[in-house]
Amino acid sequence: MKKLIQVFLVIIIPEIVIFSLIWFINPDKVPMPFNIEEIIVTDLEKMPADHSSFEELNKDFKTGQEVTEACLGCHTGRGQEFMKSVHWQWLKHDTLINGDKVILGKKNVPNNFCIGVTSNMNYCSKCHAGYGWTDNSFDFKNPKNIDCLVCHDNTRMYKKTYQGLPDPKVNLKLVAQKVGHPTKQNCGHCHYQGAGKDNGKHGDLSKELNNCERDFDVHMNAKGKNMSCTKCHITQNHTIRGNMYTTSTSNENRATCTECHTSAPHKSKTLNSHFNQIACQTCHITKYATDAHTFVWWDWTNAATKKNGEVYADEKHITPDSTVLDDTKHGQQIYVKNQKPNYIWFNGNAKIHMFDDKITESPLVMNKLYGSYADNITPMDPKNPSKIFPVKIMRGKQPYDLKNKTLIQVNTFGAEGTGALWGDWDWDKAINNGMKAIGMPYSGSFGFVETVSYWPLNHTVTPSETSLKCEDCHSKHSVLEGLNKVYIPGRDRHIAIEAGGLILIILTFLGVVGHAILRMRAKN
Partner 1 sequence: MKRVYIYRRFERFWHWTQTLLILFLALTGFEVHGSFELFGFNKAVLLHNNAAYTYMIILILIFFWLFITGEWRQYMPKRQQIVDQVEYYIKGIFQGKPHPTHKTVYTKFNPLQRAAYFGLNFIILPTMVATGVLYLAFYEFLKTGEGYAIRPIAYIHVIGAFLLLTFVIVHVYLTTTGYKPLSAIKAMITGWEEMSDEEAEIVVRENIRMAMQCSRREIIDSGGDEDVKSFDEVLSRELSGTNAMMIDFQKKLLQSKVGYFRIDANGIYVEVNDVWKELYDQTGIKDPIGKHYTLNRSEEDKKVVEQIFKQVVGGKTITGVKLSRNTTDGKRLHHTLSASPWYEKNKIVGIEGYIIGVDD
Q: Which residues make up the interface to partner 1 (CB under 8 A)?
A: 3, 6-7, 10-11, 14-15, 18-19, 21-23, 25-28, 270, 273, 276-277, 376-379, 382, 385, 469-471, 474-476, 487, 489-494, 497-498, 500-502, 504-505, 508-509, 512, 515-516, 518-519, 521-523
Do 389 and 343 contact (CB within 8 A), yes or no?
yes
State the minimum distance, in angstroms, from the CB of residue 29 to partner 1. Answer: 10
List, in order, residues 6 or more apart from 418 with CB less than 8 Å away.
411, 424, 433
State the minimum distance, in angstroms, from the CB of residue 518 to partner 1. Answer: 6
State the minimum distance, in angstroms, from the CB of residue 497 to partner 1. Answer: 6
Between 313 and 512, CB nearer to partner 1 = 512
State the minimum distance, in angstroms, from the CB of residue 463 to partner 1. Answer: 18
Task: Give the span between the Cα atoms of 474 and 487, in whole angstroms.
Answer: 10
Residue 322: strand, helix, or coil: strand
State the minimum distance, in angstroms, from the CB of residue 456 to partner 1. Answer: 22
State the minimum distance, in angstroms, from the CB of residue 282 to partner 1. Answer: 16
Between 358 and 521, CB nearer to partner 1 = 521
- In this structure, the strands spanning 313-319 and 322-327 are antiparallel
Rg from Cα positions in the chain: 29
Amino acid (1-letter code) at residue 174: L
Up-side HSE of residue 281: CA atoms within 13 Å toward CB?
24
Between 3 and 169, CB nearer to partner 1 = 3
Between 164 and 385, CB nearer to partner 1 = 385
Nearest to 153 by CA among 131, 182, 110: 182
Residue 472: strand, helix, or coil: helix
Task: Give the span between the Cα atoms of 439 and 433, in whole angstroms.
Answer: 10
Task: Give the span between the Cα atoms of 205 and 230, in whole angstroms.
Answer: 14
Between 311 and 516, CB nearer to partner 1 = 516
Between 140 and 487, CB nearer to partner 1 = 487
State the minimum distance, in angstroms, from the CB of residue 383 to partner 1. Answer: 10
Nearest to 92 by CA among 107, 83, 105, 109: 105
Do 330 and 318 contact (CB within 8 A), yes or no?
no
Task: Give the span between the Cα atoms of 338 and 517, in whole angstroms.
Answer: 59
Between 73 and 501, CB nearer to partner 1 = 501
Between 6 and 464, CB nearer to partner 1 = 6
Q: Identify the helix (H) or strand (E) that includes residue 187.
A: helix 184-191
State the minimum distance, in angstroms, from the CB of residue 424 to partner 1. Answer: 57
State the minimum distance, in angstroms, from the CB of residue 512 to partner 1. Answer: 4
Between 112 and 376, CB nearer to partner 1 = 376
Do 116 and 135 contact (CB within 8 A), yes or no?
no
**Residue 485 burial class via C-beta count within 10 angstroms: exposed 0-12, middle 13-18, buried 19 and up:** exposed
Between 103 and 505, CB nearer to partner 1 = 505
Q: State the alpha helices, DSSP H only, in 215-268.
A: 229-232, 258-261
State the minimum distance, in angstroms, from the CB of residue 346 to partner 1. Answer: 17
Do 324 and 332 contact (CB within 8 A), yes or no?
yes
